Structure 1
Amino acid sequence: MNKEYTLADFGAIGDGQFDNSEVFKRAFESLQKGGLLRIGAGEYLSGPIHITATNLVVEFETGATIRFIANENLYRPFYSRWEGVNCYCMHPCLLINESDGLIFRGKGIIDGSGPWWWATAQQKRNTQKGPVSAIETELAKLNPGYERQSGGGGGRQSQFLRPPLLQIRESNNVKIEGLTIQNSPFWTVHPLYSTNIILKDLSVINPPDAPNTDGIDVDSCSFVTIKNCLIDVGDDGIALKSGSGKDGVAVNRKTSDIIIEGCTVRHAHGGAVIGSETAAGIHDVVVRSCFFDGTDRGIRIKTRRGRGGHISDLHFQDIRMDNNLCPLTVNMYYRCGSLDAEDFSLERKPVTPTTPHIEHVTIEGCTSTNNRSSAAFIVGLPESPIRDLVISGCTFTVADEHLEPVSESEMYEGLPITEGRGIRLRNVSLTIQDVIVQGIAEEYVIEEDVVLTRE
């Protein structure tokens, strides 16, 4: 490593007031071919940061914070993927793009100044039907046909396509370790089209009511390790995705070879989540020795007609879950973002390239306590039932107080109402062994097209 600098060498002022945008630009341009950049204690205000480099180490000293300016006009249109669809969207706050061999480490903080973004997104969701602001109008022109694109509920119809806080795009061999990453405008940590990524000992923090602030979204990536992270956010905790619908099928870049280990997730919509953007497939995933504390769902697989993709070879092991609405959900009637009521039909539909498929899923040695809505929700499609699901050595315990409606078990549409709080089964082939369901009289709610094998 032949270059070592401090951020102060480039004129940085860490007083929380000075705009360091040009400072970061000079620093990372100087280090494109490698080196070490130390960021000293202080609060460094900045607009979006774009990094393209090789063999670069960025080291945060204790007390170092990068805080991004909350001004939508700074985040110029950038072609990336937003809620599963390739399009122009706001430039990420911190972007690692087309890079190889980067390490970000230390006890510092990356802060996205989220409150303005969250309040604005909520207001637009409630009052705005289409683009209004200058950046929204510009994005709408760059994204013809956006009105017909589905989303996850983040705001595609207004084209208020908020920036993720940290995106790792088209990059290899990137390690992010020890940092606190917080107050994201949108998704927080978003590896995209990348390989060999390590996310270790991170704290990813957003308020529980901050909209669409997923913790970590691994999107069309391979060979990713997420280890010993604390995730406390306002949407899904750790999610695996691979594109949505026809666009995701056409791009055809899967997510595979993922390890999630030793992580704690709190207050999220789901702990370890597959989907709902699943078009190119998600395969060969291991989630083990994690704790999902107060998340709405624990282990969560979600997709629907129109999302597409094969989901297979998932292994969840030794997961502890407490105070969830529902600890285990496999949902092929996920409701958010759909523009077509036929997505939720109970009738058998033709299998198309955007029909999702789920098979070869193993859940073993998992325990849940204080489930407030139901023990589990497992619902496939009539034309694409869930196949080869195995649950072994697991205990699910429904709470005896502070119960919530069974319908809160998952975010679904089109299914009949049920009152049973046991394991709901529909369009699934399931093998169970040494499974205990406690706190209710009826362990299973068995509906249509269920093949249940007890061993």
Structure 2
Amino acid sequence: MEFSRKSHVIEMLVLAILLFELLSSSVAGFRAVEHATTLEFPALNVRKHNTVLTDFGGVGDGKTSNTEAFKAAIVNLSQLAADGGAQLVVPPGKWLTGSFNLTSHFTLFIHKDAVILGAQDESEWHHLPVLPSYGRGRDAAGGRFSSLIFGTNLTDVVITGNNGTIDGQGAYWWNKFKEGTLNLTRPYLIEIMYSNQVQISNLTLVNSPSWNVHPIYSSDIIIQHLTIIAPIDSPNTDGIDPDSCTNTRIEDSFVVSGDDCIAVKSGWDEYGIKFNMPTKNLVIRRFTCISPDSATIALGSEMSGGIEDVRAESITAINTQSAVGRGAYVKDIYVRNMTISTMKYVFWMIGSYGQHPDPGFDPKAIPIIKGINYKDIVADNVTYSARLEGIKNDPFTDICISNVNIKLTEKPKELQWNCTDVQGVTNRVTPVPCNLLPQKEIDCPFPEARLPIEDVQLKTYSVTGYFS
């Protein structure tokens, strides 16, 4: 009788286990709802379809390569572009990968507990030809490694998260650069080419092999809520480099960099002149930079396709240093409401950068630099107020500086305003500017009319799923 009761109990346990496994497999949707997470975030457009990297074999252990998983996911999801688009969620974990390409009408969402890790196996990075507006690679004359996250000829692409992380593991690449052993130009973290309707937002980017975010030959771009961090001695780790782009908005971001926090570009010497695609209609606002050896916002040095209508405001620069043969122009630049602390130069404009892609540049291709406007700036602990060096027989013109208060370091340089070949006016500026910028009762302009990109509104998107 006792044996019979024990047998019955064992049978019931076996049946319970089998029933549990059956329910688990057949009603997995119920379990997902029970433990569901809702992700809510702003996006240019919402997507009809949603999936997770693990659905395509992704393994988030920080060791297994996910390059093929990313590629398979995006190839599959690209087929849904005409049916409301698709979103790929990178869930919590460490996702090692080489470079992969995005698709149109697509969102890449990186969970706050997810880290995408750049592979240090060069075979995981596909190769690209040199950029036509540059004529050669920046690090080596040949081609270049693709960026970690790359897209070309896209419409409506979003790279976002709830502060998920992309870690380029750049030390491997920095060492090769310093040793002079690179045969191709280092990869960037994110590069989008020949595209429109682009959003890059709500992410942390660390340790990029080179530039972090590089939109190029593109339009209608919103970049916001980025935290970008690289060691201050890391080579060429620019934060955000809009390059031959139109209608771009950069806002609410923080950069610590080994190079320029923002570098506005449009091609290199004769190649940029021939390609002839300027960067224009650029808005930068509510932006903070730390870069002891470089600039908060640089115009150039590669600017041979031209730069026009740049508006920067509410900029904070802390412990920051501050573009012949280039051709083209830089004009209609407006800056206001800057707060600066511990700076080598408040204003630094130079026309003799002296770096060229090859001997084929035209030394007579002199740029036009005009209409540079600064107003409402407070600076503290400054070594030099300004170094303004135009080009002989081609001065920088129509410079306007108003309402600027510069407090100097305990050991400032005796010559505070070093000016040659420049022309313009100043008003309410201390220390007193150079004679080439005489005082005039003027308030430097800042456009009141808004650019179209400023009025683009993001939609709130919610997606619920089992993402852990």
Select 1:360's aligned residue among 371, 377, 381: 371
Q: Which structure 1 segments of 5+ residues have no match?
A: 125-131, 137-159, 344-349, 407-419, 438-442
Cα deviation for residue 81 of structure 1 reads 2.4
Cα deviation for residue 337 of structure 1 reads 5.3
Which residue does 1:110 correspond to in 2?
166
Question: 1:392, 1:204 → 2: CA distance?
Answer: 31
Assess if the C-alpha contact under 8 Å between 1:351 and 1:383 holds in 2.
Answer: no
Match status 1:310 vs 2:329: yes
Question: 1:12, 1:220 → 2: CA distance?
Answer: 35
String of CA shifts for 1:387-424, please: whole Å, max 9, x gaps.
Answer: 100001111222114x5xx6xxxxxxxxxxxxx43121
SS in 2 for 1:263: strand
Cα deviation for residue 364 of structure 1 reads 0.4
Select 1:60's aligned residue among 105, 110, 119: 110
Which residue does 2:15 correspond to in 1?
none
The residue correspondences of 1:195-344 to structure 2 (distance < 5 A) are 195-268=219-292, 269-297=294-322, 302=323, 305-336=324-355
TM-aligned CA distance change 1:264 to 1:377, over 3 Å: same
Cα deviation for residue 15 of structure 1 reads 0.4
Select 1:69's aligned residue among 99, 106, 119: 119
SS in 1 for 2:160: strand
The residue correspondences of 1:19-98 to structure 2 (distance < 5 A) are 19-32=65-78, 33=81, 34-51=85-102, 53-81=103-131, 84-85=134-135, 88-98=143-153
Cα deviation for residue 92 of structure 1 reads 1.4
Select 2:385's aligned residue among 359, 365, 375: 375
String of CA shifts for 1:349-380, please: whole Å, max 9, x gaps.
Answer: x983x2111001110001111112x1111110
Question: 2:134, 2:313 → 1: CA distance?
Answer: 26
Which residue does 1:141 correspond to in 2?
none
Match status 1:120 vs 2:166: no
TM-aligned CA distance change 1:334 to 1:246, over 3 Å: same
Cα deviation for residue 194 of structure 1 reads 0.5
Structure with the bigger RCO (C-alpha within 8 Å, sep 6+) is: 2
Assess if the C-alpha contact under 8 Å between 2:405 and 2:430 holds in 1.
Answer: yes
Which residue does 2:430 correspond to in 1?
436
Cα deviation for residue 221 of structure 1 reads 0.2
- How many aligned positions are there? 382
Cα deviation for residue 218 of structure 1 reads 0.6
Which residue does 1:391 correspond to in 2?
401
Assess if the C-alpha contact under 8 Å between 2:133 and 2:266 holds in 1.
Answer: no
Assess if the C-alpha contact under 8 Å between 1:169 and 1:191 holds in 2.
Answer: yes
Question: 2:115, 2:87 → 1: CA distance?
Answer: 17
Question: 2:191, 2:176 → 1: CA distance?
Answer: 22
Which residue does 2:444 correspond to in 1?
none
Cα deviation for residue 165 of structure 1 reads 1.3
SS in 2 for 1:258: strand
Residue identity (%): 27
Question: 2:206, 2:363 → 1: CA distance?
Answer: 41
Structure with larger Rg:
2
Question: 1:430, 1:252 → 2: CA distance?
Answer: 28
SS in 1 for 2:129: strand
Match status 1:101 vs 2:138: no
Cα deviation for residue 230 of structure 1 reads 0.4
Assess if the C-alpha contact under 8 Å between 2:132 and 2:271 holds in 1.
Answer: no
Assess if the C-alpha contact under 8 Å between 1:289 and 1:319 holds in 2.
Answer: yes
Q: Which structure 2 segments of 5+ residues have no match?
A: 1-46, 138-142, 442-468
SS in 1 for 2:280: strand
SS in 2 for 1:30: helix
